[in-house]
Amino acid sequence: MWLKDSSIGRKFIMSITGLFLVLFLLFHGSMNLCLVIDDIFGTQGYNWICAMLGANWYAIIGTLVLALGVVVHFCYAIYLTIQNRAARGTDRYAMEARQEGVQWASKNMLVLGIIVIGFLVLHLYNFWYKMQFAELTGVETSMFDPQDGSAIVKGLFTNGVCGIIYCLLYLVWLVALWFHLSHGVWSALQTLGWSNLIWLKRIKVIGVIFATIAVGLFMVVTVYFLGVNIGSMM
């Protein structure tokens, strides 16, 4: 099969699943920004979105599709890395030494991806497990109401010293995510055909812009509650 046996086909799958996940991050980051707005103005926008995306059939299907996309993207990344190493053989070190124009992120995409996946598991435990999973199964997974997503997030990020540690861990994750996305977006667009001399520099800028917006939305929330937490301890 072309998508499985061809290197171009495998890169195509990586590109499509990667871009799909970037769009999800933009939506998820925009949704999370409501947390800051709610905390400042006393509104309930975040909980309203959580209720809309809770134990509903469309939210469950969306979750399964996203999970499948992450699994496919990660498995293909490992497979491509193994293939590339096997193809280079003992010459890969000499080849890497000559790649002066290659970005650091492009040579460490697998490592960055593993860091991102590791923190994604932590993120799913902290929020999805305590919200949608708890609502679907009726299992009590935290001291908070699973439909009160705002309280769950605030409870994690503003919990004294533990909250500070979590905020710092999330910031490390977001930095790794930025490097992964900034290279991944333009690489995906290049694979999809935007690879001529005119567009190559442009799609690299597009990749940086997308990565900065997506990660910036998450950082605003993390830094905001880090400040709230530190302020409450002083």
Q: Which amino acid is at 89?
A: G
DSSP 158: T
Per-residue pLDDT at 166 exceeds 50: yes
Between 110 and 230, where is the model more confident? 230
Check pLDDT > 60 for residue 2.
no
Q: For all residues of the chain together, what is the average pLDDT?
A: 84
Least confident of 53-67, 76-90, 141-155: 76-90
Instruction: Record the tokens describing residue 117, joined without a space.
Output: 């996946």
**Res 32 pLDDT > 90:** yes
More confident residue, 221 or 18: 221
Domain residue ranges in the chain: 2-95+102-233
Q: What are phi and psi of 22, to 5 degrees?
A: -65, -45
Class of domain 2-95+102-233: mainly alpha
Q: 215 to each of 29, 77, 145, 173, 220, how far by Cα in Å? A: 8, 21, 28, 10, 9
Q: 176-197: b or e for each residue (b if 16 or more CB lie within 10 Å)? A: bbbbbbbbbbbbbbbbeeeeee
Condensed to tens digits (0 to 9), the pLDDT of residues 168-185 reads 999 999 999 999 888 888
**Element (H or E) spanning 176, and its range?**
helix 160-191
